[in-house]
Amino acid sequence: MSSGTCQPHHDVFADVLTAGLCVGLVISYLPQHLRIILAKSSEGFSPWFLLLGSTSTVAGVLNIIVKQWEIVRCCHVLSAGNCIEATAGIFQLFIQWFCFTMILVLYMLYYPSHLKFATVDVDGRPVKTEIKRDEWRLSITLSWIVFLFTAFFASITFLLLGTESSPDSVRLSSWATFLGVSSTMLAAFQYFPQIVHTYRHKVVGALSIPMMCIQTPGAILMVTSIAIRPGTNWTTWSPYAAAGILQGILLVMCILWKLRQRELGLDDFGNPLGCPDMQDTPVPVAQGPIDGERVPEAVSAAVETDIHNVHEEQVTEVTPLLKQDEAPSKGKDWLGWIRG
């Protein structure tokens, strides 16, 4: 589209590249979304990583909207096809924002229940309280910050676009630069909390390696696609260049931890392979006699036996770990193994 007119400008290479990236973005994020949903856990994510990523993508979308607002205003005189072609860059960054923000939504929905509230030890038995754990409280606070940040910055952007008659006004230009620089800085710092979080826990958690394998090299195409769009400059594509480099570092770390987990016989959440999923219970759960059936009743019966020192047998067919010929005094050793 030529400067100052609403004549359509066709660029086959840019159109094909943008269309491919839009499809690629959705495909690349699907493994991460499905991994959280299928695992029913978002453990392993840093809430600061999600905060910085969500706000960075918001600022990036608003930046390109301001930079291409003159093109957007031409849609009322262009055909639907030409309008979609001209604004494909905006749609591309919108998909990036939406898909990343969905990770934050799934993170909150599938936050492990056993990590939400603190537990206290009552007579050797962990009891859940109504007191929120620090990281769960932080996650709630940061989610609200993302919501307020999005609403506030979007309101200012569209207020300026509605009041400024010239797309080249100083205020619009300064605001677009501020959005671009902010997005770049947020993207640059985005991966540091996650890198530190993953390094400390030394497990992959709910992070998706396939997603990062697609997105890390795809960052080069993403930068190229944005850079060749009319009206954009370095403030528009630099956030995605910074994010691509740091995501590559996180990818290498996750691959190394994956190899380490395999050597130690652990799953992605640090549990021994072959053991039942224990993420939603405050203590390990005993297995039943049939196909590894989970029998939390066995734990409850054993705890009650130890507390009240009942000398009668508590053996049922669903508590195979408690032998009938064992003295009740051995229950303490068994409980010590559970609490260990």
Q: Are residues 82 and 219 in the same domain?
A: yes
Q: Which of 96-105, 177-186, 188-197 has the highest mean pLDDT?
A: 96-105
Q: Are residues 58 and 176 in the same domain?
A: yes
Within a domain: 5: no
Within a domain: 224: yes
Within a domain: 91: yes
Whether the per-residue pLDDT at 292 is higher than 50: the answer is no
Q: Are residues 33 and 128 in the same domain?
A: yes
Q: Are residues 217 and 321 in the same domain?
A: no
- The per-residue pLDDT for range 217-268, each reduced to its tens digit, is 888 888 888 788 777 777 778 877 888 888 899 999 999 999 988 888 888 8
- The predicted structure's pLDDT at residue 333: 42
Q: Are 215 and 247 in contact (CB under 8 A)?
A: yes
- The per-residue pLDDT for range 60-109, each reduced to its tens digit, is 999 999 988 888 888 888 888 888 888 888 998 999 999 999 999 999 99
Within a domain: 210: yes
Q: Are residues 189 and 313 in the same domain?
A: no
Sign of CA dihedral 116, 120, 125, 128: negative
Q: Are residues 302 and 170 in the same domain?
A: no
Radius of gyration for the alpha carbons in the chain, expressed in angstroms and rounded: 27
Residue 190 is which amino acid? Answer: Q
Instruction: Read off the tokens for 239.
Output: 């956030």
- The per-residue pLDDT for range 212-223, each reduced to its tens digit, is 888 888 888 888
Range of the domain at 310: 296-339
User: Beta partners for 127?
Assistant: 120
- The predicted structure's pLDDT at residue 275: 57
Q: Are residues 107 and 150 in the same domain?
A: yes
Within a domain: 272: no
Last residue of a domain, one of 264, 282, 306: 264
Within a domain: 309: yes
Q: Are residues 148 and 214 in the same domain?
A: yes
- The predicted structure's pLDDT at residue 33: 95
- The predicted structure's pLDDT at residue 289: 40
Within a domain: 45: yes
Q: Are residues 26 and 167 in the same domain?
A: yes
d(CA 72, CA 65): 8
Q: Are residues 249 and 176 in the same domain?
A: yes
**Dihedral angle of Cα 164, 165, 169, 172, to the nearest 10 degrees:** 40
Within a domain: 72: yes
- The predicted structure's pLDDT at residue 301: 46
- pTM exceeds cut of 0.85: no
d(CA 203, CA 209): 12
d(CA 247, CA 42): 18
Nearest to 330 by CA among 318, 309, 319, 316: 309
Average model confidence (pLDDT) for the chain?
Answer: 78
Q: Are residues 232 and 324 in the same domain?
A: no
Q: DSSP string of 104-122?
A: HHHHHHT--GGGTEEEEEE
What's the structural domain count of the chain? 2
